[in-house]
Structure 1
Amino acid sequence: MDHFDLKKDFSEFKATYVITIVTILVWIGQLLAFGNQATTGINLLNSGALWGPNILADPTQLWRLVTPIFLHIGWTHLLFNMFTLFFIGRQVEAVFGWKSFTLIYFISGIFGNAMSFLFSPQSLSAGASGAIFGLFGAVVGLGYFTEMPVLKQIGKTFAVLIVINLLLNVFNIGAIGSLGSTQVNIWAHIGGAIGGLLLSAIFPPKSLKRAIPAHYKIITSIVFAGLLLAFIILPFMTN
């Protein structure tokens, strides 16, 4: 049996390790700041959770599309997401490399939160789920855009994981409703998956850059930017 080398593993999957560690530290910070009241609606809001009415009233709070990626609403929520990130994330990072992995993770999370801002503005939400769905979507997209048989097969497996997870969303904790009722922010999950799929062509692995036709990169860049702007602008126009 091979001896596990933490230093070597960290150097190979440093983005996954760093993101996991930082997210756990943020949760510890939530507990230190608010104790057993850390997951109440008002304290999640004060911690930086996504809350549409605040953004609509004060557009400078668009930073709330970013901060929820680091926040969680309980130990179960945190551990489930970090377990998934650590074990699935290492596989995805091995394919994309740490730079593309990091960009896809955070930008997918923002994209998912922006979609939630448009379609579910009254949900006070937090969690890394949208960003994690982005990693799933990136693997699916890489298989589609490269058209390589092995990657296409892996992509199909991850597509099944996305569908299953979306179907099981009713059993997961992903958001807090406007009055503190528990619900799943499925829009952030769907948005994260779509964002990751598109970003796989924009930030592909170095070794596969030439395997993705140039027109895919152009189209996905335009679609991604257009959708993100629509998700952010439309709520202000319809409010």
Structure 2
Amino acid sequence: MTNPGWGGAPGEGTPPQPRCVRHPDRPTGLSCTRCGRPACPDCLRPASVGQHCVDCVAEGNRHTATVRTVAGAPVRTGVPAPIVTYVLMGINVVVFLVTALQAKSVMDNGRGFVNQFTGTAVFDSTLFGRWVLSPVDVATGDWMRLLGSGFLHFGLLHLAVNMFALYILGRDTEVILGRARYVAVYLISLLGGSASVMAFEVAGFTAGASGAIFGIMGAQAVILLKLRRSPAPIIAVIAINVIISLTLPGISFFGHLGGLVAGAAATAALLYAPQWFGAGQNRDRAVRIGWIGLGVVAVVTAGLIGLRVAQLRSEYGL
């Protein structure tokens, strides 16, 4: 018997299966419900109706407005990681370990004495001696002390208290302000604390992150006001810490106060300046004005430090 060959050879007359537009080597029976192009399972994403290819998803995202916080920072999906806060904590811990190793003491890493012949302070830790805030030394041109002192701590307890406060306060503030703005407010607060010490606590040596942390407290108070929520809880925390600063010996009240004022002023400039100068709904202009406001606060803070340095040089004949 013979095969009559109905329909010709196998496969003849069968239309070829479509292939994925992004992977031509992959046959597929699926397609994007938005553009209609064939796509393999790896190139499709679930949508409210059907499934969209990755190109259509990307195109849709480009035309979707980014959700932002009151400070203009993009809202991140999931649980945002406060990376900057953790980095700042890490820097403080590393600096403390260096000073503790140099001083061979965890609880007294800031131990030092004043040389009665030269009148200069000598610390067991070289790094501590170079960075601790001494207004007269800053007036001689040792500018690093203005920032470096904010990463030094007198003993393990001082470090632990400040890092716990930074962990509690810094995470939410970073998420709302955004990483870059948060770093700017933190550093301006640190400089504000140093400026206040330069003005009102010439004698002695000052160190610690608490000036910057007070600035974060001030930032949170301003943020709550901008959100039209009660700032009473953070104001209560500030008041308690101010009382502690005034009553316990060895605490720099003016360092805390300067950081608080600088942090609040920087955040107010960031959040309210765009409104004051009529940025309206223009997001780019609002961001630009906010950064200009931060810059103005930083310049004013630096100017106050420069003015005080000039006064100290005149008083001490430096």
Name 1:149's counterpart in structure 2.
228
**Superposed counterparts of 1:1-239, under 5 Å:** 12-36=81-105, 38-41=109-112, 42-43=122-123, 45-56=128-139, 58-59=140-141, 61-144=142-225, 146=226, 148-150=227-229, 153=230, 155-170=231-246, 183-204=250-271, 212-214=275-277, 222=296, 225-237=299-311, 239=315
- State the Cα distance separating 1:231 from its structure 2 match: 3.5
Structure 1 runs not aligned, ≥5 long: 1-7, 173-181
How many angstroms apart in 2 are the aligned matches of 1:219 and 1:20?
27
Q: For residue 258 of structure 2, what is the amino acid of its counterpart?
A: G
How many angstroms apart in 2 are the aligned matches of 1:233 and 1:209?
26
- State the Cα distance separating 1:47 from its structure 2 match: 4.1
Cα distance change of structure 1 residues 139 and 232 upon mapping to structure 2, 3 Å threshold: same
DSSP 3-state at the match of 1:12: coil
Structure with more of its chain in helix, by fraction:
1
Cα RMSD for the two superposed structures = 2.7
Q: For residue 141 of structure 1, what is the amino acid of its counterpart?
A: V
Kindly indicate whether the alpha-carbon contact (under 8 Å) linking 1:141 and 1:196 is maintained by their aligned counterparts in 2.
no
- State the Cα distance separating 1:133 from its structure 2 match: 0.4
Q: For residue 168 of structure 1, what is the amino acid of its counterpart?
A: I
How many angstroms apart in 1 are the aligned matches of 2:297 and 2:149?
24
The share of aligned pairs that are identical, in percent, is 24
Cα distance change of structure 1 residues 232 and 187 upon mapping to structure 2, 3 Å threshold: farther
DSSP 3-state at the match of 1:38: coil
- State the Cα distance separating 1:199 from its structure 2 match: 0.7
Q: For residue 101 of structure 2, what is the amino acid of its counterpart?
A: L
Structure number with greater CO (CA < 8 Å, separation at least 6) is 1
Report how many aligned residue pairs link the two structures.
Answer: 211
Q: For residue 276 of structure 2, what is the amino acid of its counterpart?
A: P
Q: For residue 161 of structure 1, what is the amino acid of its counterpart?
A: V
How many angstroms apart in 2 are the aligned matches of 1:163 and 1:228?
27
Kindly indicate whether the alpha-carbon contact (under 8 Å) linking 2:130 and 2:145 is maintained by their aligned counterparts in 1.
no
How many angstroms apart in 2 are the aligned matches of 1:226 and 1:121?
20
What does the per-residue CA deviation read over 1:44-76, in whole Å, with 9 as the maximum and x for residues that have no partner?
6524100112122x22x1221000111000000
How many angstroms apart in 2 are the aligned matches of 1:219 and 1:100?
11
What does the per-residue CA deviation read over 1:186-207, in whole Å, with 9 as the maximum and x for residues that have no partner?
1110000000011103344xxx
How many angstroms apart in 2 are the aligned matches of 1:220 and 1:23?
24
Q: For residue 99 of structure 1, what is the amino acid of its counterpart?
A: A
Structure 2 runs not aligned, ≥5 long: 1-77, 113-121, 279-288
DSSP 3-state at the match of 1:66: helix
